[in-house]
Homo-oligomer: A and B are copies of this chain.
Amino acid sequence: VRMCGVSVTPQRKARTRNRRGEGGLLREEIVAAAERILEREGTEEAITLRAVAREAGIAAPSIYGHFDDVNAVIGAVLDAGFARLAMRIKAATDGRDDDPIALLLAGCRAYVTFAMAEPARYLVLFGRGRAPNRPEPSEPPEPAGRPAEHQLDAFQILVDGIAACVAAGRSASTDPFRDAVMVWTHMHGLVSLRQFAPGFPWPPLDDLLTDTVLQGAKIKPASP
């Protein structure tokens, strides 16, 4: 690289090569680099092959040793994101199986907290517009909307949480699945619009969330 007649070395630090059997280490570094870019730039489009290589301190073609192409890198970021979300929810609900309502609220708060704390990651997980291109007739029936197992995990926790309230006589729900859909969609709308329009005079998120969950799950007032 040459600028103004002065030879400039690209400021990539000389990477110490992994040892013989440890090539897989770089794979994790690549995903971590992509996640850092996502976090920093706030948009999925910033995750380009060359940007990831720069961030990871490697040459661009090195990525091909670990991923088929750039989409595979983004896919790995998605998988890591869903795993992270499920982990957060489980961490918030583990070891407090006393009150089913408290459990349900804790899980929902963990979901919303994740979305607000890592908006770029959340947006990639749930906000990506599946380009509604004219459906290629020759295309195999692709798995719609990336239901990567962890996504369903999180939703199942919600359904179970409502069902537990019903079992404890604390919810009037007759269809926990449907009510979980209502709670999930409402939570998603709350966080994604709030991120979209931060200048709007939003009421406090905690209050709205509590109402969303208690009403959506048809929680009955505590019987005396």
Contacts and interface: CB of A to CB of B under 8 A. Distances in A.
A186 interface: yes
Interface string A154-191: 00000000000000000000000010011011111110
A132 interface: yes
The binding surface of chain A is classed by DSSP as helix
B181 A185 contact: no
Interface in A204-224: 208, 211-212, 215
A64 interface: no
A45 B199 CA distance: 24
A57 interface: no
A196 B129 contact: yes
A199 B133 contact: no
Contact of A198 (B145, B181, B192, B198): B145
Interface residues of A, number: 47
Given A182-B211, A215-B215, A145 B192 contact: no
Contacts of A133: 40-42
A178 to B, nearest CB: 5
B131 A197 contact: no
Contacts of A83: none
Interface of A: 40-43, 45, 119-120, 123, 126-134, 143-147, 178, 181-182, 184-190, 192-200, 202-203, 208, 211-212, 215
8 contacts: A41-B133, A120-B129, A120-B132, A123-B129, A147-B200, A182-B186, A186-B189, A187-B189
